[in-house]
């Protein structure tokens, strides 16, 4: 039987039983008090101190450096968080988390080597929010105020995470991706939220982490860590979130899969 190992990241020890009941592997982020039943991102080779800026990528780095080498060939590896999960295709769904959330390998994945989240459309941003946060973004792309097709990944990033910051970061990508991602960010009007993926390929997982961490490390030299406000502090998380679906679409045979939002801190 094909195995699915799902790592679920959380910020509180109180989330342990809920995660274990899903047969997921609990991962504790940041420096909170966690029991020994949690995997931690602050042991062995780690960048845990960057968690306020990198979010889930501090565990991704830990997994890449310390655990990926032990992955079995017939094992699918997935990642999610205490708020965003892969959706179940159970036709008898209820509001119970166990019914809503994917718990096993799906035969539908056969023939694919990666699973990414179904994209969310950017165009639904309300006009009042656009005018409040996106004045500079509109100056760079004025058609976005009237036409949803103008509301690209670049436009949305300009609005919430600093005007021009995505373009500055793209210039640091290697030549093999720079122009492709620039085109993608200016023309794509949706993205896969949550920095989530599933894959059965050790090579693909290694290649993605190699590329994204090389890029983020270069980005540190221009953005640093003296960042303020939610949209800026987690700059590296948001950059990676836009890059992830681009990378998996370019380099893998991918399948898009539903993502469920369910905050266990509010619903327990």
- For the stretch 199-257, pLDDT in tens is 999 999 999 999 999 999 999 999 999 998 878 999 999 999 999 999 999 999 999 99
Convert 145-157 to b/e letters by CB count within 10 Å (16 or more is b): eeeeebbbbbbbb
- Give me 112's structure tokens: 């694919």
- Give me 246's structure tokens: 């681009």
Give 7's strand partners: 25, 79
- Mean pLDDT taken over the chain: 89
pLDDT at 94: 74
Contact criterion met (CB below 8 Å) for 151 and 144: yes
pLDDT band at residue 145 under the 50/70/90 scheme: very low
167: Cβ contacts below 8 Å, ≥ 6 apart: 154, 182
Distinct helix (H) and strand (E) counts, the chain: 13, 11
Grouping H, G, I as helix, E, B as strand and the rest as coil, residue 197 is: strand
Q: Spell out where 2-111 has E strands.
A: 3-10, 25-28, 39-40, 75-81, 84-86
pLDDT band at residue 107 under the 50/70/90 scheme: very high
- Give me 116's structure tokens: 């990414």
Q: DSSP string covering 88-134, please? A: P--TT--SSHHHHB--S--GGGTT-SEEEEPPEESTT--HHHHHHH-
pTM score: 0.90
Q: How many other CB atoms are found less than 10 A from the CB of residue 167?
A: 15
- Give me 189's structure tokens: 């009007």
- For the stretch 41-78, pLDDT in tens is 999 999 999 999 999 999 999 999 999 999 999 999 99
φ/ψ of 20, rounded to 5, equals: -65, -35
pLDDT band at residue 268 under the 50/70/90 scheme: low
Q: Percent of the chain beyond pLDDT 70?
A: 88
């Amino acid at each position: 039987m094909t195995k699915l190992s799902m790592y679920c990241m959380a910020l509180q020890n109180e989330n342990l039983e809920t995660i274990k009941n899903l047969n997921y592997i609990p991962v504790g982020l940041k420096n909170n008090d966690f029991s020994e039943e949690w995997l931690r991102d602050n042991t062995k080779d780690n960048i845990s101190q960057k968690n306020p800026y990198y979010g889930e990528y501090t565990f991704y780095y830990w997994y890449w450096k310390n655990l990926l080498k032990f992955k079995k060939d017939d094992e699918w590896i997935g990642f999610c968080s205490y708020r965003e999960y892969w959706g179940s295709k159970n036709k008898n769904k209820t509001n119970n988390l166990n019914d809503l959330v994917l718990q096993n390998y799906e035969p539908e994945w056969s023939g694919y080597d990666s699973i990414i989240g179904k994209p969310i459309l950017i165009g639904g941003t309300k006009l009042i929010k656009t005018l409040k946060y996106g004045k500079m973004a509109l100056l760079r792309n004025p058609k976005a105020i009237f036409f949803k097709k103008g509301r690209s990944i670049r436009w949305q990033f300009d609005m919430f995470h600093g005007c021009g910051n995505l373009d500055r970061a793209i210039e640091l990508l290697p030549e093999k991706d720079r122009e492709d991602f620039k085109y993608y960010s200016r023309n794509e009007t949706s993205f896969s939220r949550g920095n989530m993926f599933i894959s059965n390929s050790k090579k693909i997982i290694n290649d993605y982490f190699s590329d994204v961490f090389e890029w983020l490390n270069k980005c540190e030299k221009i953005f640093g860590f003296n960042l303020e406000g939610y949209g800026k502090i987690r700059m590296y998380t948001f950059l990676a979130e836009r890059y992830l679906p681009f990378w998996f679409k370019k380099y893998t045979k991918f399948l898009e899969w539903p993502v469920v939002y369910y905050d266990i801190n509010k619903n327990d």
